[in-house]
Amino acid sequence: MQYDPKTTLDEFNRLMVDIRKTVPKQYQAFIAEKEALIKSDSLPEKTKWLLLLVASVSQKCPVCIPKAVKHCLDNGWTKEEMLEACMVAVLVGGSSVMTYVTLVSKTIEDLK
């Protein structure tokens, strides 16, 4: 299976330039909400990134996965911990979600 996290993110970021220019208020509102939700509160930021990774797998988002993997690695999560958490998404989403768990594994290896 071909999947290049860097190429995927580069293309996404290139396309988002138009979104930011076309609807700047809405884009900024989204960014502000994201930043507020990620900050540590009752749950540490580290845990929230792992939750975002599992949600990215469950929602089958090839753009979200490398972003979440990078933050998880930066926050000290191991490959084993990330993959174990992602397997929970398979319980909810079924076997088709397993494809996205393989993308997590590949992204971890590519980013190490």
pLDDT of residue 110 exceeding 80, the answer is: yes
pLDDT score at 2: 84
23-75: pLDDT as tens digits:
999 999 999 999 999 998 999 999 999 999 999 999 999 999 999 999 999 99
pLDDT in tens, 66-105: 999 999 999 999 999 999 999 999 999 999 999 999 999 9
Instruction: Give the model's pLDDT for residue 112.
Output: 82
**Beta-carbon contacts of residue 46 (< 8 Å; ≥ 6 apart):** 75, 76, 77
Which among 73, 13, 7, 14 has a CA at the least distance from the CA of 105? Answer: 73
- In the chain, what are the domains? 5-111 (1.20.1290.10)
Q: Which amino acid is at 43?
A: L
| Residues 51, 82: Cα–Cα separation, whole Å | 10
